[in-house]
Amino acid sequence: MSKQDISLDVKQGLLERVFKLKQHGTTARTETIAGITTFLTMVYIVFVNPQILGAAGMDTQAVFVTTCLIAAFGSIFMGLLANLPVALAPAMGLNAFFAFVVVGAMGISWQ
């Protein structure tokens, strides 16, 4: 590695080095806007999921915290380990099926 290559590595920001933004044809500003947009489209899950699973008898506060943690860890791991711009959160359809069909209609305990 030449001195010029080393100086280029130092000049590049952390985001560029980790996510190779230029190679993917994007900028930190574009990715920030995309991240905010993704958050705004998914944040409803944090509020709706506890209500749905609360109908099955689960503690809504515990489900709220768990939903936040799972979405955060899943999304962070997807970004850092897989280097993909994908956000992850609990599946709302499966949660509703579990709460209203399995627990509600079939009478099986959520525990």
Same structural domain, 75 and 87: yes
The predicted pLDDT at position 24 comes to: 84
Q: Are residue 57 and residue 16 in the same domain, yes or no?
A: no
Q: Which domain holds residue 71?
A: 44-111
Give the pLDDT of residue 67.
95
Both tokens assigned to 39: 């958050």
For the chain, 111 residues long, the average pLDDT of each consecutive 10-residue run is 53 79 87 92 94 94 96 92 89 93 93 86
Same domain? For 56 and 86 the reply is yes
User: How many distinct structural domains can be found in the chain?
Assistant: 2
Q: What is the pTM of this model?
A: 0.76
Tell the residue number behind the tokens 């996510």, with chain if given.
19
Residues 24 and 53 in one domain: no
Same domain, yes or no, for 31 and 48?
no
Predicted local distance difference test score (pLDDT) of residue 17:
82
- Tokens standing for residue 30: 């574009």
Residue 102 contacts residue 108 (beta carbons within 8 Å): yes
